[in-house]
């Protein structure tokens, strides 16, 4: 059963890192609307916001991630891929720690690690609306795959 707006707000306040909360507040203040919500726990939930673009926030086992699309029905891209592609840097240069985490290290609460969604999301949304990012994001995805699974190459 979908949560009410008040329940969604309470869920984010109680469970989300501060940067995620600030990002959601910015989305609402920028005219985005929560159009879909699935799940209601930090073990698994998905929140889909639509406005000029589409922003999907996922929490899976207490780890928060973000996917973005230029418009409703367009390809959703993982946020780290968009950041790497927008920077015009190789994925490994933008995110040098990928593939280097040991199994005993705790997972970050928010992905990509060390990136403020609130600070970077407005620029990413503008960028994906202004141009076709498919080629550069696909290249970043291939670079990430090589870093994460080097033996498969």
Model pLDDT for residues 11-46, shown as the tens digit of each residue: 999 999 999 999 999 999 999 999 999 998 999 999
Q: In this structure, are residues 112 and 79 in contact, taking their beta carbons and an 8 Å threshold?
A: yes
On the question of pLDDT at 151 being above 80, the answer is no
On the question of pLDDT at 10 being above 80, the answer is yes
The tokens for 10 are 């309470």
Predicted pLDDT at 138 = 96
- Give pTM, 2 decimals: 0.91
pLDDT tens digits for range 50-91: 999 999 999 999 999 999 999 999 999 999 999 999 999 999
Predicted pLDDT at 40 = 84
Written as one string, the DSSP assignment of the chain is -PPPHHHHHHHHHHHS-HHHHHHHHHHHHTT-EEEEEEEEETTEEEEEEESSSEEEEEEETTEEEEEEESSTTSPPEEHHHHHHHHHTS-HHHHSTTTT---TTSPPPSBSSTT--HHHHHHHHHHHHHHS--HHHHHHHHHHHHHHH-GGG-
73 CA to centre of own chain: 17
Name the residue with tokens 């979908």: 2
pLDDT tens digits for range 91-129: 999 998 765 666 777 888 999 999 999 999 999 999 999
Question: Sorting pLDDT into bands at 50, 70 and 90, what band is 152?
Answer: low
């Amino acid at each position: 059963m979908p949560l009410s707006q008040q329940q969604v707000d309470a869920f984010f306040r109680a469970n989300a890192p501060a940067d995620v909360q600030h990002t959601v507040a910015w989305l609402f203040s920028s005219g985005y609307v929560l159009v879909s919500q699935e799940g209601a726990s930090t073990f698994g939930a998905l929140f889909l916001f639509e406005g000029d673009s589409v922003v999907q926030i996922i929490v899976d086992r207490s780890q928060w991630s973000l996917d973005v699309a230029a418009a409703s029905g367009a390809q959703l891209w993982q946020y780290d891929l968009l950041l790497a592609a927008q920077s015009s840097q190789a994925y490994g240069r933008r995110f040098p720690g990928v593939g280097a985490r040991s199994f005993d290290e705790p997972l970050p609460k928010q992905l990509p690690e060390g990136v403020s969604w609130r600070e970077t999301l407005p620029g990413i949304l503008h960028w994906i609306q202004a141009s076709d990012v498919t080629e550069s994001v696909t290249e970043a995805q291939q670079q990430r795959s090589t870093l994460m699974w080097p033996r498969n190459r």
